[in-house]
Amino acid sequence: QSVLTQPPSVSAAPGQKVTISCSGGSSNIGNHYVAWYRHLPGTAPKLLIFDTYKRPSGIPDRFSGSKSGTSATLDITGLQTGDEADYYCAVWDDSLSAGVFGGGTKLTVL
C-alpha cells in the first residue's frame, strides 16, 4: 500500500476535462513538490509535471498540476484518445527518507 492514494480509474469523453487526485500527508505532499507521470507499460514513464505545477518543455498546457495542503491534483483538459494511459503522482517522503509513487490511476477516454 502506497502512502499516496490515487483513484484506481477515471474516465471522460474526448474533449472533456478529467481530474486525478493524489492524497498524502504532512511528511510528503504537505512538505514537498509533487511530480506527475504518464506511463504505458513497456515504455518509459513520461514526466508531465514537476515542482507541483511546472511543465517540462514539450508538455502541452492541457496538463496542469496543483496542490492544497496534503493533496495534489492533475487536471487534463481537451481529452484525446491518445491520453489513455496510467498516471502516477510522486513525491519525496521525509518519514521514509525515500521517494514514493501513488498507486496509479488508469485513464479511459470514452
List interacting residues with another protein (CB under 8 A).
2, 32-33, 35, 37, 39, 41-47, 49-51, 56, 86, 88, 90-92, 96-104
Of the two residues 33 and 108, which places its CB atom closer to another protein in the complex? 33
Residue 102 C-beta: closest distance to another protein, Å: 8
Residues with Cβ within 8 Å of residue 64, at least 6 apart in sequence: 49, 53, 55, 74, 75, 77
Residue 34 C-beta: closest distance to another protein, Å: 9
Q: Round to whole Å and give the CA distance between 14 and 71.
A: 26
